[in-house]
Structure 1
Amino acid sequence: MRSDSWYGQGSRDGYIHRAWMRRGLPDSAFTGRPQIAIANTASDLAPCNSHFDQLAASVKNGVYEAGGIPLNLPVMSLGESLVRPTAMLWRNLAAMSMEELFRANPIDGLVLLGGCDKTIPALLMAAASVDLPAVVIPGGPMLNGTFRGRPMGCGTDVWKLSEEVRAGTLSEQDFLRSESSMIRSRGHCNTMGTASTMAIMAEALGMTLPGLAGTPAPDSRLLESSHQTGRWAVQLVQADRRPSQVITKASFHNAIVALAAIGGSTNAVVHLLAIAGRLGVDLDLQDFDRIGKDVPLLTNLQPAGEYLMEDLFRAGGPLAVLRQVRDLLDPSAITVTGEPLVSYLTDEVQIWDKRVISSREQPLQGHAGIAVLQGNLAPDGAIIKPAAATPGLLVHRGRAVVFDSVEDCRARLDDPDLEVDADSVLVLRGCGPKGYPGMPEVANMPIPQKLLRQGVRDLVRICDGRMSGTAYGTVVLHVAPEAAAGGPLALVRDGDLIELDVPNRSLQLLVDADELRRRSAEPEMINSLAHPLRGWEKLYVDHVGQADTGVDLDFLTGGSGAEVGRESH
């Protein structure tokens, strides 16, 4: 095993490695027993992951039972709800630091504990790069909260209720009263936001024990599954089954099908592209449209529907959803068990509540995949989530109302003199990977207050940033190239006509090409862009890629294996 090069030597180096790690362990701990690191993103400042030490304890028991040695390895944790300016700024740093820790230590296999939005992607990117046997445990969603007798989806209901306050239909006192009702238990967001989406993506990629994703955080069955996963990690090492063998082009095909069927977060697009880049798998933006466009939406979950993740679990879970689209999956893709994913989608996998999970014959929507748009406003592509959009706005032409930064938007959006109406197209730029930096979740701009009071609840919105997986609306996002990288979004001016045609996958700025050549970026936008002088932000801005390639750093694409460059001592 890999760890033998640390512990199996009779030299001074072997002595040092064993002696410092012994601390009561027997001699047998260092001879022939797989060393399993539990990559643990627990943190009190990442509240969605705060229960992971309990999961890690169950993993340890399973590892011991199977004959391995478990090692808790705290790794960088990112809490979506707290980190400024955006957790996405540090996804790549987290992945890079995890990769280096995995490579530098005497580790034979990995159990990856992730939950909040960026932790599962970072863990998978790191594991893909170092390519040690690995398996994921998603930390699970929180239980359903309720407010005024109705289920309350964390994230989604924040956006909804805050808009009602701005519209004058909900008091600020009642809005604040709902705050303590939203987070009912430990766990990540209970909507089909990015955390739940990426948990299901990990399962669709084959990187969890089948049936694990979606288990609520407080459910004792999550502890049972964590124990089983610890056992399985030892078997993965013994079988030498690595991420590069599990996560293939076929696996990404299945993940894209799953993403459409569950109505998952648009953030999954940049994360899946980044994971593929670490493995050298040929995945591009058009694959999401090509594979996902005819997949039906089968889950009635917020933000696109009514129910929450606890309901999905009791209704049959993600496997029940995938059972309905089994014929659309690639049967060659395997899981960490070595068996094909489709082999777990038997007739025994049932839908137990058709209000939550629809049958293939009666889908919520017939075509639910992420739509990839192209045109002169997005030469390298942009995306929209039709399942969360207003159907009547999917084909639309309107005049642009342009904001040069997040701060500009916040300052002017509710100005009574803002020239905006129900047909306007809101454009927010300078929010891409380089521009902000970090590509924040600001694309779902609030509706101007004067329109809210007129009853308007959605507008076409276009941005080079992202939006929360818990958000909704007719939002075109991930515009590439971003404005800060010289993309055409930098040239849009107030009053320009923009045409959105989702059925034909088109996003066009209806301005003469000669006129666009004469234009340059507005000074206000240029002044708002990030200009870091040092540290991680400078490294990030200098090397980050665009949304259409996964927003990874250029020097991190492709894996480099588990070998340590030079031995110590």
Structure 2
Amino acid sequence: MDATSVKEAVMADYDLSKPLQAGTGFKKGLTNYGDQHFSLFLRKAFIKAAGYSDDALSRPLVGIINTYSGFNPCHANVPQLIEATKRGVLLSGGLPIDFPTISLHESFASPTSMYLRNLMSMDTEEMIKAQPVDAVITIGGCDKTVPAQLMGAISANKPVLPLVTGPMMLGSYGGVRLGACTDCRNNWATYRAGELDMEDIAGINEELAPTSGTCGVMGTASTMACITAALGLMPLRGASAPAVSSTRLRLAEETGHNAVAAAKSKVPPQDLLTAASFHNAITVLQAIGGSTNAIVHLLAIINRHPQLTGTITLKTIDDIGRRTPLIVDLKPSGDNYMTDFHNAGGMLALLHTLHSLLDLSAPTIFSCTLGDLLAKTPFKPFPFSLSIIRPLTSPLHPSSSLVVLTGNLAPNGAVLKASASKYRHLLSHSGPAVVFHNTADLAARIDDPDLDVTENSVLVLQNIGPKGNPGMPEAGVIPIPRKLAAQGVKDMLRISDGRMSGTAGGTIVLHVSPEAGVGGSPLGAVRDGDVVGVDVEGRKVWVEVEEGEMRKRMAVGMEREMVEEGKRGEEEKGQGKVGVRGRGYRWLFEKHVNQAEEGCDFDFLTAKGVELVVRPEDDRDFTRVVSAEVWQGLSVGERRVEIIPPRRDAGGEFGENLRDDVVRCVETSGALGVGGEESVNDGLVGSESGGEESSGVVLADLADLEDAAFLAVCAGQDGDEGDVAGAACLSRVGHESEIVDARVEGELIALDDVFDLRSIGSADAGSGPIQDE
């Protein structure tokens, strides 16, 4: 803008006779003082303290997320990347402003970085929403950072351009190339087996991470970088350029330029990212032999997208894997490193190789489709590139580097990185279980010379799932017992509800769901000596225990969980004693984290959100369950809310929430149970021993409920204990989504007293019955 135009624009901001004109990001999201002109006036006054001119403030505003931390060597180059990014923004006529968010590093996040991923996504989402930006560049790299940023950015839904920090360079010891962190794990296993001495392991430690940057193999960080490029959100060579290279700085400048273009085109990620985008990303994941962590992250990212949530599942990932060969020869599935991948052509070479398996109609941030982008950037293979990125006709593994397993041990799924198995015969194997109840038990007994274990045993680790630890640590790589390692054993079948590093290898079943820490979990019911097996070809994982015995074990686990839940924040009846009370982020995490097959996101952060319980502003003690859509339609004065998250009872016997529990219990028992002061499970089962006798309420015959709707809410609001405040059936009515069941102190109200939700808060609420139609 010239000087005259700038001045005219400034004067327009002070013209009280006219509303503020929509402009660049600087005028967006003004703090609400009830006077828009005054809000802008204050914002300008404060930002000018930083030295900005009216001309600068009139330009497209590009936010740059700064994740630098002295505790995060993966992000040590972030300050340099910020400066290069700013240069690109300025050269393209924009105004760059950086702002901080949380920084996560795998080794400096207790109890685990996964525990903090959702918190970082919340930080990212809310800061993007809060700042007046037209587009945002997210700079990050370490394992959970890129997923958290994508989750938050999709929810915030402003144009986003990821810039990863890039992989580190390689080290060397004794003439052997070293790269974190596959070589960390392999050398440590060798050391445990007594094949390296203390001097060697100390020397190797000095060389494993010789520069800043993310791990130099196809671990989680590199996997997420490749996935981000496959989604069409960043330049293809941006996935692999080394952190300390000049190429990385030029990519940062290019990202700044692209951000200004994105600010002008105004295409948000929810419009840019389609099902085709994610199918391409999954194809790349399978072709590179990527990290199993990426499965959890992808599901969390997808479930933030309102149009895609629930449409891409573990089955989708497995289906795509069946037609996609592993063609990238990088550790841990192969022999090479990220620098080799970059020098072989990186993502450009890979996408050209996968051309026939991709959906080329997928859009990109570059205002063209993936097919157009590849057509404009041809790639000619050469001998070295073909040794790292194999042709489809000569893969390392014919298909399914990552497989999804189900069975009576994992009803909701589990994953295994088949391409990283060291002993291929273990992909179809069964043996007696050696069970460790948690990581402390594992540490105490794994190297006990008297441990009853052979190389044919199956090592099972429980209670390291999303809730059980909490945070689902990367402890799934159960170490080979030292006495077996000393005999030369390099791999065993291992099963857990936890994760493993993307840099690790072995025949390891992970993410078993439901996790052992959830009541009624089959995994939690496994005992020493039970025969446990896996069949990768048949996609099965199982435990050989008689069905009745398994049900008994799972019931014990469910009762234990209910007792523990009932203690939390509940007053002990008749004694006035306060039980254990939850607080802070850990309480939030344990209360709301989803299982692995849903991405381990918080239920209230997903695009679906959670059901809401409304208590209307009147003197009646009603509890109503309404959908989020209905809730949004209520006025502020009509809203009093308590959140009830979906309850995940693990054994497959119950659904995702209490409403589903009632329906399923009715279907299986033939009657609708309404509990009194007994536990919810007793009250809802509707059996002779549970529902009917304990409730004292006449049960409706299932045959009479053909067109009924079922609703259930727990009065205690903890999801497992307290009087049942809702479990009823309604006859078919006209506006079913707006009709709710009502109860007063646990007593069922007649149909004539069921209220139309539209009358909540009005003077005549509930004055008349709703008639059947």
Instruction: Please say whether Structure 1 and Structure 2 have the same fold, judged by a TM-score greater than 0.5.
Output: yes
- Report the Cα offset of residue 499 of structure 1: 1.7
Matches within 5 A, 1:204-243: 204-243=230-269
- Report the Cα offset of residue 67 of structure 1: 1.2
Look up the match of 2:718. Answer: none
Amino acid at match of 1:554: D
Look up the match of 1:173. Answer: 199
Write the deviation string for residues 36-55 of structure 1: whole angstroms up to 9, x where unpaired: 11012111111101111100
- 1:293 is the counterpart of 2:327: no
- 1:4 is the counterpart of 2:27: yes
Partner Cα separation in structure 2 for residue 45 and residue 193 of structure 1: 20
Amino acid at match of 2:184: V
- Report the Cα offset of residue 522 of structure 1: 7.3
Partner Cα separation in structure 2 for residue 414 and residue 556 of structure 1: 41
Partner Cα separation in structure 1 for residue 345 and residue 65 of structure 2: 29
Look up the match of 1:563. Answer: none
Amino acid at match of 1:348: P
Give the paired residue count: 559
Look up the match of 1:449. Answer: 482
Q: Say whether the 8 Å CA contact 1:404–1:528 is kept in structure 2.
A: no
Look up the match of 1:278. Answer: 304
Which sits farther off after the overlay, 378-387 or 339-348?
Answer: 339-348
Q: Out of 417, 427, 448, which is 1:385 matched to?
A: 417
Look up the match of 2:449. Answer: 416
Partner Cα separation in structure 2 for residue 432 and residue 129 of structure 1: 25
Which sits farther off after the overlay, 193-202 or 171-180?
Answer: 171-180
Partner Cα separation in structure 1 for residue 95 and residue 509 of structure 2: 48
Q: Say whether the 8 Å CA contact 2:77–2:244 is kept in structure 1.
A: no
Look up the match of 1:426. Answer: 459
Partner Cα separation in structure 1 for residue 372 and residue 327 of structure 2: 21
Closer, same or farther: CA 149–340 of 1 in aligned 2, 3 Å = same
Amino acid at match of 1:467: M
DSSP 3-state at the match of 2:398: coil
Partner Cα separation in structure 2 for residue 507 and residue 463 of structure 1: 12
Write the deviation string for residues 285-307 of structure 1: whole angstroms up to 9, x where unpaired: 11100012221111111111111
Partner Cα separation in structure 2 for residue 62 and residue 528 of structure 1: 55
Higher relative contact order (CA 8 A, sep 6+): 1
Q: Say whether the 8 Å CA contact 1:130–1:559 is kept in structure 2.
A: no
- Report the Cα offset of residue 351 of structure 1: 3.4
DSSP 3-state at the match of 1:438: coil
Matches within 5 A, 1:281-360: 281=308, 282-346=311-375, 348-352=378-382, 353=384, 354-360=386-392
Partner Cα separation in structure 2 for residue 500 and residue 47 of structure 1: 38
Q: Say whether the 8 Å CA contact 1:200–1:318 is kept in structure 2.
A: yes
Partner Cα separation in structure 2 for residue 502 and residue 439 of structure 1: 23
Closer, same or farther: CA 6–245 of 1 in aligned 2, 3 Å = closer
- Report the Cα offset of residue 513 of structure 1: 0.6
Q: Say whether the 8 Å CA contact 1:153–1:302 is kept in structure 2.
A: no
Which sits farther off after the overlay, 335-344 or 525-534?
Answer: 525-534
Q: Out of 564, 587, 594, which is 1:538 matched to?
A: 587
Partner Cα separation in structure 2 for residue 433 and residue 275 of structure 1: 17
TM-score normalised to structure 2 length: 0.70
Amino acid at match of 1:4: K
Write the deviation string for residues 319-357 of structure 1: whole angstroms up to 9, x where unpaired: 211211111111221111121223333483133412222
Write the deviation string for residues 267-299 of structure 1: whole angstroms up to 9, x where unpaired: 000100001011131211111000122211111
Q: Out of 176, 179, 198, which is 1:153 matched to?
A: 179
Look up the match of 1:374. Answer: 406
Look up the match of 1:246. Answer: 272
DSSP 3-state at the match of 1:110: strand
Partner Cα separation in structure 2 for residue 138 and residue 226 of structure 1: 9
Q: Out of 503, 523, 527, which is 1:489 matched to?
A: 523
Look up the match of 1:364. Answer: 396
Q: Say whether the 8 Å CA contact 2:170–2:177 is kept in structure 1.
A: yes
- Report the Cα offset of residue 10 of structure 1: 7.6
Q: Say whether the 8 Å CA contact 2:236–2:347 is kept in structure 1.
A: no
Q: Say whether the 8 Å CA contact 1:296–1:367 is kept in structure 2.
A: yes
Matches within 5 A, 1:466-477: 466-477=499-510
Amino acid at match of 2:531: L
Write the deviation string for residues 443-464 of structure 1: whole angstroms up to 9, x where unpaired: 0110001111111100000000
Partner Cα separation in structure 1 for residue 530 and residue 564 of structure 2: 22
Write the deviation string for residues 190-246 of structure 1: whole angstroms up to 9, x where unpaired: 010000000111111111123321111111011111101101101101111111122
Look up the match of 1:66. Answer: 92
Look up the match of 2:212. Answer: 186
DSSP 3-state at the match of 1:345: helix
Write the deviation string for residues 521-567 of structure 1: whole angstroms up to 9, x where unpaired: 679x989999983210110000000000000000000189xxxxx9x
- Report the Cα offset of residue 11 of structure 1: 2.4
Q: Out of 405, 429, 441, which is 2:438 matched to?
A: 405
Partner Cα separation in structure 2 for residue 533 and residue 559 of structure 1: 25
Write the deviation string for residues 5-46 of structure 1: whole angstroms up to 9, x where unpaired: 468998221111011112221111222x11111012111111
Closer, same or farther: CA 481–10 of 1 in aligned 2, 3 Å = closer
Look up the match of 2:553. Answer: 519
DSSP 3-state at the match of 1:423: coil
Which sits farther off after the overlay, 265-274 or 286-295?
Answer: 286-295
TM-score normalised to structure 1 length: 0.95
Amino acid at match of 2:76: S
Q: Say whether the 8 Å CA contact 2:318–2:400 is kept in structure 1.
A: no
Look up the match of 1:554. Answer: 603
Amino acid at match of 2:416: I
Matches within 5 A, 1:121-160: 121-160=147-186
Closer, same or farther: CA 30–495 of 1 in aligned 2, 3 Å = same
Amino acid at match of 1:351: P
Look up the match of 1:26. Answer: 53
Look up the match of 1:50. Answer: 76
Q: Say whether the 8 Å CA contact 2:188–2:201 is kept in structure 1.
A: yes
Closer, same or farther: CA 528–477 of 1 in aligned 2, 3 Å = farther
Look up the match of 1:507. Answer: 541
Partner Cα separation in structure 2 for residue 279 and residue 206 of structure 1: 16
- Report the Cα offset of residue 425 of structure 1: 0.4
Partner Cα separation in structure 2 for residue 388 and residue 528 of structure 1: 38
DSSP 3-state at the match of 2:517: helix
Partner Cα separation in structure 2 for residue 553 and residue 61 of structure 1: 37
Partner Cα separation in structure 2 for residue 96 and residue 343 of structure 1: 35
Which has the higher Rg, Structure 1 or Structure 2?
2
Partner Cα separation in structure 2 for residue 350 and residue 387 of structure 1: 27
DSSP 3-state at the match of 1:467: coil
Which sits farther off after the overlay, 4-13 or 219-228?
Answer: 4-13
Amino acid at match of 1:217: A
DSSP 3-state at the match of 2:541: strand
Q: Say whether the 8 Å CA contact 1:482–1:546 is kept in structure 2.
A: yes
- Report the Cα offset of residue 2 of structure 1: 4.2
- 1:88 is the counterpart of 2:114: yes
Q: Say whether the 8 Å CA contact 1:298–1:358 is kept in structure 2.
A: yes
Structure 1: give runs of 5+ residues left out of the alignment: 561-565
Q: Say whether the 8 Å CA contact 2:28–2:133 is kept in structure 1.
A: no
Look up the match of 2:750. Answer: none
Amino acid at match of 1:3: F
Amino acid at match of 1:301: L
Partner Cα separation in structure 1 for residue 557 and residue 271 of structure 2: 48
Q: Say whether the 8 Å CA contact 2:113–2:144 is kept in structure 1.
A: yes
Closer, same or farther: CA 465–153 of 1 in aligned 2, 3 Å = same
